[in-house]
A and B are shown apart, each in its own frame.
Chain A
Amino acid sequence: MTYSSQAATSPRAAKWLSALGRWAFVLPVLLLNLVVVVIPSVAGLAVAFTDWTGYNVPNFVGLANFQRLFQDEIFFLALKNNLVWTVMFLTAPIFVGLLGAYILSTIRHGQMFFRVVYFIPYVVASVVNTQMWRQLLNPRVGIGPLLAERGITFLDFPIFGTRETSLFGVAFVDAWHFWGFLVVLYLSAMSAVDVELYEVARLDGASRFQQFRFVTLPSIRPTLVFTILMIIIWSSTTFDYVYMLTAGGPANSSELMSTYLYDNAFSRFDAGYAATIGMMMSLWVALAVAGFVYLRRRGWEI
């Protein structure tokens, strides 16, 4: 694949050939991504304006799907659940992640060991993780009845089968496999912080919490903001854990946009309506990215 013929062609053609040769390296990735992601995404946006079932020739129906969406109680329940999910993931896992990372950053021995241990749940498949917790939180063979024998009864009920707790139960199982990932991200950001800053703070009599608040937290802000953005984006599309543990039930109490979309697209032959839900999910992601870009323009180092 040498371009020995270049010498014979004009300099301009040679320049073009060489540019083409360089672009040829990028072309396979771009084409594949275009076929699998970009064109179907555009088609998905277009389908939202049709009555497509997945099997018929789609007819343009204007905004009918959107009118239906804005009157659909289940969609709003799912949207609310996605928001609750986001708030849960922005609090508990980030708190535990920061706590674990900060303590790890102050110890002398075993940092590597704990880092690896905390990361293990992150490589466990969703289908294995859900199996494990389905048993542990089972009202007959889990830890609930075991604790109840000792008088602790708060876990002794079907968590995934109760409307008030199903969403929290599923989010807990997902978060169990996620927080260690945050520990590792925050720890690597914290180990880049200048040690002298801590020494100055200590000389000023800062407590450990004050050191965390006024030295660590500002120093790792770019990583913190990045994880917040990722959590907001991932929370809108999360699927596996709800699908496996509750399938959105009981009575849609743990329904998410993704599971509701999936149900419409592949069980109810309502691909056009499903695409409308997909458009709302894209809007969520677009707003999060726009917010990120805005903060960056405002001069935040993120």
Chain B
Amino acid sequence: MFANRRTQSSIPSYIVLILLAIFALAPLVILAMNSVKSTPEIGRNPIGLPENVLFENFTEAWEEGNYAVTTRNSIILTVSTIAGTLTIAGLAAFALARLKLKGANLIAFYFLVGTSVPAQLFMIPLFFVWREIGLVNTHIGLIIIYCALYAPFATYLLRSYMVALPEEFVEAAKIDGASNWHVFRHIIMPLSWPGFLTAGLVIGLNVWNEFLFAVTFLPGTENRPIATSLFAFQQRFGRDWGLTSAGSVIMVLPIIVLFLLLQRRFIEGLTQGGLKA
């Protein structure tokens, strides 16, 4: 009787869930369809299926938006930040998880304070210092900032993986006289690769999408990533909806594909530790 009541009442449940799914996906589907329409067609038919599929929007957006350069810039920023952050966060996570550090609580407190400070507060002095020492408009200048911003999150994510590793591996190595570095490099790091993958994906997503620091610290046109150049592109071609939609699709498509392939890791990483995407 219970099971029967459940199936009956689950139809309204599915209706609500499907409506929510449409709410989540419809804007993205419309964006994708508009990216292959001409702008006059979008005026006549703003949310329907395209009458003529027009791939020229993509080639034109790629050229006009200088995507060959901005994609390269975004990849440089993303890959370097992932590598830099995982290196320093991996080391710190190892020490917090596996070495008896006096003052580990102090570090946790320090990270808590450091990650709750509003970015806008430290951005002002940081910008003028970065300008003084010539780091504004350089990739390395922004990569250093990203590494500092994302390292506390990555440290705690990796630490939770390393704490869960079985003790025996480490003990065996220690008896053989291995140094801390050796234990980290050859035992802990290979065993906690899922943590590195998860943290890397979350950091990569954040860097790819990041706007505030990118627009401030890379104001020039040659070094900027897709996010800020796409914004400028939208301002320039404001009413050319087909073209700007194509420009947006170029930026978001790789992310959605990667997310669908590795959704478990993305969701796990993004819902741990308050890092806003």
Interface residues of A (CB under 8 A from B): 1-3, 19, 21-23, 25-26, 28-30, 32-33, 35-38, 40-41, 43-45, 47, 54, 96, 99-100, 103-104, 106-108, 110, 114-128, 131-136, 140-143, 145-146, 176, 180-181, 184-185, 188, 202, 208, 230, 233-234, 236-237, 239-240, 243-244, 258, 261-262, 265-266, 271, 274-275, 277-279, 281-282, 285, 289
User: Smallest Cβ distance from A15 to chain B, in angstroms?
Assistant: 12
Cβ B241 vs Cβ A128 within 8 A: no
Q: Bound complex: CA of A121 vs CA of B41, how far in Å?
A: 26
Known: A32-B144, A37-B148, A274-B124. A237 touches B119 (CB 8 A): yes
Judged by a CB distance under 8 angstroms, whether B4 is at the interface is no
Chain B interface main SS type:
helix
Q: Tally A-B pairs: CB < 8 A.
A: 269
Of all chain A residues, which has the CB nearest B94?
A: A25
Name the one of B110, B117, B248 contacting A282, with C-beta atoms under 8 angstroms.
B117
Known: A40-B125, A127-B251, A271-B128. A22 touches B99 (CB 8 A): yes
Q: Bound complex: CA of A106 vs CA of B43, how far in Å?
A: 42
| Given A33-B148, A118-B21: 20 more A-B contacts, CB < 8 Å | A2-B182, A26-B101, A28-B87, A30-B110, A32-B148, A40-B125, A106-B13, A107-B17, A119-B266, A123-B205, A126-B209, A126-B211, A131-B230, A135-B241, A180-B24, A244-B211, A265-B123, A278-B118, A281-B121, A285-B117
A-B contacts, 13 of them at CB < 8 A, read A1-B181, A25-B180, A28-B88, A32-B144, A43-B122, A47-B124, A114-B17, A123-B270, A124-B209, A125-B252, A128-B31, A132-B30, A202-B2
Judged by a CB distance under 8 angstroms, whether B245 is at the interface is yes
Cβ A135 vs Cβ B34 within 8 A: yes
User: Smallest Cβ distance from B145 to chain A, in angstroms?
Assistant: 6
Name the one of A104, A136, A142 contacting B17, with C-beta atoms under 8 angstroms.
A104
Q: Bound complex: CA of A44 vs CA of B119, how far in Å?
A: 11
Chain A interface main SS type:
helix
Known: A143-B47, A285-B118. A123 touches B27 (CB 8 A): no
Cβ B121 vs Cβ A41 within 8 A: yes
- Counting from the closest, the 9 A-B pairs by CB-CB distance are A36-B148, A278-B121, A25-B95, A125-B209, A40-B122, A43-B125, A28-B88, A40-B125, A40-B126
Q: Which of A25, A99, A230, A266 has the most CB of B within 10 A?
A: A25
Known: A26-B96, A132-B27, A271-B128. A125 touches B251 (CB 8 A): yes
User: Smallest Cβ distance from A158 to chain B, in angstroms?
Assistant: 13
Q: Bound complex: CA of A118 vs CA of B267, how far in Å?
A: 11
